[in-house]
Each structure stands twice: as structure tokens, then as C-alpha cells.
A and B are shown apart, each in its own frame.
Chain A
Amino acid sequence: MVFLLVNDVTYSYQGKGSVINRVSWGIEEGEFHCLLGKSGCGKTTLLKLAAGLLQVDTGSIFLNGKEVVKPSPEAGFVFQSPTLLEWKTVMDNVLLPVSLRRKVTTKDRENAMKLLETVGLAEYIQRYPAQLSGGQQSRVAIARALIQQPSMMFLDEPFAALDAITREELQDDLLKICKQQNTTVLFITHDISEAVYLSDRIAVMDQGSIIYQTAVQLSKPRTVEVRYSPYFNDLCLDVRQVMGAERS
């Protein structure tokens, strides 16, 4: 079943030409898709459309069979920066999506605790965001997006500001959690090897259109060795050539 269906979507910001130009895309349930592209190619806009933060001009977007007109409680969102609330503890930040809808129960706290354990932050629940490192803040943001057990996750370059090793750890954690909960993921990045490592399928965007797509045939779960295999590197090179096509 196609879980997220983007159907011939166009979008433009007022007064500026179209940012998204007749894009169609589908993600099967439980799949991990990456959207690659240079800055300003419209990938974040497409993500916001799919998440219901922006409204399409023409075309339509369906999430789990329902048309997307506003943000759905079924979806989790992770932004470019962790966007944690500085005046709340790690625990309360993770529980924010719940506390905005209803009173937090002991059960919710247990869930949050489990998630924080999974991302390795069990000892930090009473800390404030300013007391955490950048990587730890990203982990909290991921735990927050997962607290309502969303069936769909949207991630917008969540690891862009992290160092290489921390990023690899977080990538593995993310894959592990999504596998556990059978979450469908749309992940945005400009890092080619990150996209290849994480995804089942990759799309490359340029000037509002999808110009290239390919399936990634790598065994799962992915390991460090995968990153250095010939297939991995060949695929990265292919994608790199597509992305840099107009310059050469």
C-alpha cells in the first residue's frame, strides 16, 4: 500500500515563481525514503507540504488514504535545528506533543522514558536543553517526534550540524527505532552518503522537480562495512553526477 502519496503537486510562494513544479512521489508503508538536493531546490517546501504545514496550489497529497490539509497527529516532524524549549527539561520537551493535547499520564512518562533510553539519554531527563551537547539535543528532538508513535516521520536535515561520528550513531539509532515501530520515513538531506546509507529509495530534486530516482539495494540492517562497500560508493558517485550535472 502506498502510505504517502504526492500527486502532481505544484506550490509557489506569493509573487515568486513555482517552488514545487508538478511533483509526484509515493512511499510504501514502512519504507525509508531520502530526498536529496542542493540548498534552495524546494526539498524543505515539499516536506512541509507533505506534513500539512503548507497547502498545495494544485495536485493533492494523501497520508494513509486521507488527504492532507493540516498537520496530522499521525505524523512526527524533526526540524533542521532541534528546536527544544529552553525552559523545559528534557523529559518535558519529549512530552510536549502529549501535553499540548491532554494531561500527561504516568503511562506517557514511561513511554518517554523508554524512548529516551533508546536514544541513550536516560540519565539526562532532568537536564535543560542548554546543558546538552548538539548531538544530545538532536536525540531529544527525535524522541519528541516519536512520543506519539507516529506512523509517518518527516525529517528535515536533522543531523546537518553534527560531527561525522555522532551523525553515524544517530543514523543507526534512527534506523533501529523506525524498524521497531514500522515507521514510514521521508528524510531530507544534502549529504549523498547519508541518503544512500539510510534509504530504501532516493530521489534527487532540482529547481522544484524530481530529476532522478533510484532504489538502494543494500542489505539491512546497515552496518559500518556498508559505508565502504563498492556498491555504496558507486551509487554515491552516480547520485553525485546527477546532482552536479548542470555544472559540468
Chain B
Amino acid sequence: MKRFPLYSVLLFLILLFVWEISARSMSELVLPGPFVIFRTLLDGIKSGYFTPHIIRTTLEVILGLFFGGLFGFMTGIIMGEIVFLRKLLFPYIIASQAVPKLALAPLFILWFGFGMTSKVVITALICFFPLLENTVTAIKYTDKQKQELFRMLGASRWKILIQLKIPAGMPGIIAGLRVAVVLAIVGAVIGEFVGGSDGLGAVIIASQGMMDTPLMFATLILLTAMGMILYRVVQLLEKKWLIRFMKEKEK
């Protein structure tokens, strides 16, 4: 990982300073200062108040990402491989893309209850599309010459898919996963906003009710950290896969 350059750290410190100064002239209800927030965050972690909520949201994100991603990947492969299905389903896929999926959250709460299922479903639905699209594109646009090479070598359609199209499409597919990871957190938090009392999204809603703005900020920081960690994991995955492609670009 690249070290943060010095001036970037400097900017961060300046921003913190400005924040602290401006927070002092305002009520804590409107804008709490960074120190107050930090104390709330630390206390919350120490006392174990955040722990169940973090676990809950993380679980929702991971399950949603897994099911949505897997389903998107599989559907993407089938649609990329079978032209007839692609032509049949694509108009519907485009139409369903236009539906604001987060607006469906109340409906899913109605269908699947206030428990974890509804949140996982929302998250999965959101993660489904980026993976679907990227997988279809990757499978569809595999290098023609490489396909001819495999045909020349007498490879079956299945082998062409497994040994050529999927590995060759991996950079695009992982790029889709990167988009999905960020969206997954949004999905889980929105789900928690709408219903239920567990998870970091629910904590934000609760802190709003209690007018505990420092708690709200602390939760936001936790969510940001979570997003960054997940993004980083995918980036590492990408690096492992793409290292050979990267080297070419560096030249």
C-alpha cells in the first residue's frame, strides 16, 4: 500500500483543527467536535455497545455480497454464453436497473420481516447488477483469437468457458465486485434504516431519536472504516489476480 504522502496527512490535521474550532462555536447537537466524537467512539467500542451492531451489519453486508455477487456472476456467465438468453433477458435487466432498488426496502421489510433476511435480500439485490453486467461483458468480449486458438486445440465449449473466458474476464469481473462492495454497505444501512433495531444503520436512526449527534458521527466513522476495509480486501484480491496485467502496464 502506498504511504499517505506527508501533505495529505497535513491537510487532514488542518481539517480536524478547523472542524474543532468551528464546533466550539456551535451546539454539540448540530456539530460535535472531533474530540467528542472520538471519545464517544472509543467509549462505545470499550463498553461493547457497538460490537453486536458491527457484527450484524458486517454479516448482512457479507451475506448479501456473497449471494448477490454469486447470483450475478452465474447469471452473467449464462447470459454471456447463451446468446438467445441474453437477447431474451436483457431488456428486462435494463428495465430492472432503472428501478430505484433502495426504494424497494420497505417492500422487502413487508415480505421478509424485520430480521436479517430482508436486509440481506436488499444488499444482495444491489450487488447483483454490477457483477451481472461486468460478467456478461467480460464473457462476451473474450479475445476472438484466443477463442480460435482453443477451438484449434479441440477444446469443448465448457473448457473454453472455464479455462479461457472466465480467467480472461477476471479483471472486469473483479472491477464489478469492487463496485458491489461499496454498494453493499449502502444496501445494508438503508435496510436497517427502514426497519429493525440492530445494525449500524439502526444505531444512526436511534441516535437521531435521542438527539445524540456525537453517536451518529461515531457510527458514520465506523461505517466508513468498514467500507474502506472491504474495499481494501477486494483490492488485494485484484492485485493477486491482476499482478501479471499490471506489470505489463508499468513498462
Contact = CB atoms under 8 A, between A and B. Distances in A.
Interface string A121-156: 000000011110000000000000000000000000
Interface stretch (B39-47, B61-69, B188-196, B242-250): B242-250
Given A71-B154, A96-B153, A130-B248, A79 B170 contact: no
B161 interface: no
Given A87-B167, A128-B247, A130-B247, A73 B148 contact: no
B206 interface: no
Given A83-B146, A85-B164, A85-B167, A71 B244 contact: no
B159 interface: yes
B145 A85 contact: no
Nearest to A76: B152
Given A73-B154, A79-B145, 14 more contacts: A75-B152, A77-B152, A81-B145, A83-B145, A85-B146, A85-B164, A86-B168, A87-B168, A87-B170, A87-B244, A100-B159, A101-B154, A130-B248, A131-B244
Interface string B152-191: 1111000100011001101000000000000000000000
Interface residues of B, number: 22
Contacts of B244: 86-87, 128-131
Interface of A: 48, 51-53, 70-71, 73, 75, 77, 79-81, 83, 85-87, 96-97, 100-101, 128-131
B154 A86 contact: no
Nearest to B247: A130
Contacts, number: 56
A48 B152 CA distance: 10
Contact of A83 (B149, B170, B245): B149
Interface string B177-220: 00000000000000000000000000000000000000000000
A136 to B, nearest CB: 13
A53 B154 CA distance: 10
Contacts of B248: 86, 130
Contact of A71 (B145, B152, B163, B167): B152
B15 to A, nearest CB: 40
Contacts of B154: 70-71, 73, 100-101
Given A86-B244, A130-B245, A51 B152 contact: yes
A48 B146 CA distance: 14
A53 B148 contact: yes
B67 to A, nearest CB: 27
Contacts of B151: 53, 71
B124 to A, nearest CB: 29
A100 B247 contact: no
B88 to A, nearest CB: 23
Contacts of B143: 83
A70 B143 CA distance: 21
